[in-house]
């Protein structure tokens, strides 16, 4: 149970009800990470705008790669909520439960491409040690075909997931009773 009050859908009204309805329409259902913002609907929608831009907007990074980055950050932060949600999104593309489970245990065992493994390593390392110079990792990403825009997007996704992980962990956001499935991934 979260450490702050949450307004459930049934009790919502006005701006919050509109925000909830928009999220249900665009995402497929209402998640606990949405409801934790219920006391500040404007911040909820601003948060979702950033999420949609980084995870679904135009980018040289594939959708799968963006989900991998977010999941790797969430593993580094031990944020089970985000791990479960975003490995589910990854598995939407893989359709391989065993591979998804291996990724959660150790991404290096999930039969990733060199680029995918380098992206996950960058996400994990930048989360664990943000002040350590990453020039060599960024050069490796460039060698593997990423341009500066892709590296910028990867870095912003890493920062975004660190932000969200801290909301989830700091306020004790629980995984939905209905489970993590049922969201729109495309």
- By CB atoms closer than 10 A (0-12, 13-18, 19+), residue 126 is buried
Residue 103 lies inside a defined structural domain of this protein = yes
Q: Which has the closest alpha carbon to 127: 170, 160, 172, 169?
A: 160
- The H or E element containing residue 100 is helix 97-105
> pLDDT by residue (tens digit) across 22-71?
999 988 889 999 999 999 999 999 999 999 999 999 999 999 999 999 99
Question: In whole numbers, what is the pLDDT of the chain averaged over residues?
Answer: 94
Q: How far, in Å, CA of 38 to CA of 17, rounded?
A: 9
Query: What pLDDT shows up at residue 50?
Result: 97
Q: Which has the closest alpha carbon to 137: 151, 149, 158, 127?
A: 151
- Decide: 120 and 68 in contact? Cβ < 8 Å: yes
Residue 13 lies inside a defined structural domain of this protein = no
Look up the domain containing 151 and give its range. 63-171
Residue 22 lies inside a defined structural domain of this protein = no
Residue 55 lies inside a defined structural domain of this protein = no
Q: Do you know the residue count of the chain?
A: 186
Domain containing residue 147: CATH number: 1.20.1290.10
Residue 84 lies inside a defined structural domain of this protein = yes
> pLDDT by residue (tens digit) across 112-135?
999 999 999 999 999 999 999 999
- The encoded tokens of residue 181 equal 């499935």
Residue 20 lies inside a defined structural domain of this protein = no
């Amino acid at each position: 149970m979260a450490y702050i009050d949450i307004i459930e859908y049934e009790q919502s009204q006005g701006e919050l009800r509109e925000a909830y309805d928009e999220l249900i329409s665009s995402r497929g259902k209402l998640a606990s990470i949405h409801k934790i913002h219920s006391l500040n609907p404007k911040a909820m929608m601003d948060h979702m705008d950033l999420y949609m831009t980084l995870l679904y907007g135009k980018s040289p990074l594939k959708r799968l790669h963006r989900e991998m980055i977010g999941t790797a950050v969430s593993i580094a932060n031990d944020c089970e909520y985000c791990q479960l949600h975003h490995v589910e999104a990854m598995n939407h593309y893989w359709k391989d439960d065993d591979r998804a489970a291996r990724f959660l245990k150790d991404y290096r065992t999930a039969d990733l491409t060199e680029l995918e493994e380098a992206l996950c390593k960058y996400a994990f390392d930048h989360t664990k040690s943000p002040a350590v110079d990453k020039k060599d990792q960024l050069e490796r990403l460039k060698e593997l075909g990423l341009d500066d825009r892709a590296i910028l997007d990867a870095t912003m996704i890493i920062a975004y997931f660190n932000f969200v992980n801290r909301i989830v962990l700091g306020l004790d956001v629980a995984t939905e009773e209905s489970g993590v499935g049922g969201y729109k991934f495309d």
